[in-house]
Structure 1
Amino acid sequence: MTGFPDRREGGPDGDRAGPAEPLLRQPPGYLDAPAGAFAQIRRRAARRRRVRAAGGGLAAAVVLTGSVYLVGALTPHGSDDLVSPPASDSLTSAAPSAPAPTRDAAPVPSPTVPDGRRSAGARGGTATATGTTATGTPTPGGPRGGASTGTTPRCATSQLTAALGGGDAGAGSLFRYLVLTNHGSTACHLTGYPGLSLLDPDGGQIGTPADRQPMSYAAVVLRPGGTASDTIHTVNQQGTCLPASARLRIYPPGDTASLDFTGQVTVCDGLFTVTPFVAGARGNPPS
């Protein structure tokens, strides 16, 4: 049997409707939504969205916490030292700044060097018959020797006697004291460096005159019979040496006349310096 029996003419689904068809197949009807139903649906949807958002944030926090923990656990531990926070500015004290030098400050004298460690002055000084100007620094204040120069004249060569005094040695250096004595009847003063040369037996000059060893100095007052001295610095015989002197020639400070006197000094390695005069017969600085 083929076909659809219900489709035959006169059947329930045929082209003709039966008398009960209107009653049994009424058109569908739709009920209206209850009042407030849509608002309740929107509230529930918003609540679900908030719950989903809160759940997502909580999940993100859990993931972040776990990541931090894993990073800390997997990172190799270094030193256990605690890092202190930086000190506050209130605990930091600035170092006091040194006062700026004033223009009117007095010159500072050169420091005194112990015997055996005296440094030679720079070469270049030359003694002449007209005397020399000392390269040292005059010391502020009064003269040495216990008296004021006031009206005390400069010592003339004619009232002085020269001689080699004692000496000292140390660290390969030799120090001889050149002593000037006032044999006159009046006081006089000496200030600064002498001119000094070495002479051979025939009176010829050996080498060059002594250089000035830079030092501070002051006037030295010599009463009758008083003495002043300086220090001749050479080195022990080593390297290239000049012939030993038979005599020495000195030009007192500020005078053009000279004094020749007996004395033996040997210059080696070109070191030959002299200091300014000080009171006494023990050299400069006194030994």
Structure 2
Amino acid sequence: MAKPVKPNRYTEIIAEVFRKHYTPGDQRVRFERDEFVAAAKERNIELPKNLGDPIYSFKYRSSLPESIAETAAPGYEWGIYSIGKGKYEFKQVKPLSISPRDNQLVVKIPDATPEIISAYALGDEQALLAKVRYNRLIDIFLGITASSLQNHLRTTVRGIGQIEVDELYVGLDRNGCQYVVPVQAKGGRDKHGRQQTEQDIACCEQKFPALRCRPVSAQFITANKIAMFELALQDGEIRVVSEEHYELVPAASITDQDLALYATRKRPG
């Protein structure tokens, strides 16, 4: 018989903090990051060097432990939200599931990624952001002229605390309308996060109130195939506005038949 898998220390710490504060029926459960110290001592486990790592892990990469998940109401799940410096809350929300559609048409794009970038990009997220940037996929996807303003932007948002935007673009269209485009990049085990999109929108509304915010999420399908999603907040929920799949290929591999197919999709200007 297989031995039961021992929970890792992040799971034990977050479960202990939730257990301490949760009362059946709660929709929100507040806690502070400093409580991890007492939780680790209570469970007799080593404290993580960076107290923010467990928060990041459960926000964007890992599922919350079953002891927490099973307390959510039917049709809901728990998420962790920042509500101030070092302050957080578990909140019940409707599940967000964003994944590339299997039957989505794939548009071939001549690959403009410098080979030296492909050779030395550190990690899936960095490689993805670089390919999106060098191939001007934000411009192509949104139909605007966009420029990267800053990547891994760390800033503070009122009512939330410190956040990090994977990459921030600004751009404009033929009519002169200006845009701010927060991009979240998903590679490896990372999953699309409701919190990250909501935080990106709140950041743009506070920092760039005159610009139209168009959040984008990019995800590797394969090493050279990228899914792009434009997202929006509607009725308190994150919605997918549009989805496109792009494959970065040598220019010579794009056939006349490919171009004829793409011509049928051209939107009137």
TM superposition score normalised by structure 1 = 0.21
Structure with the higher strand share, 1 or 2: 2
Which one has a bigger Cα radius of gyration? Answer: 1
RCO higher in structure (CA 8 A, sep ≥6): 1
TM superposition score normalised by structure 2 = 0.22
Structure with the higher helix share, 1 or 2: 2
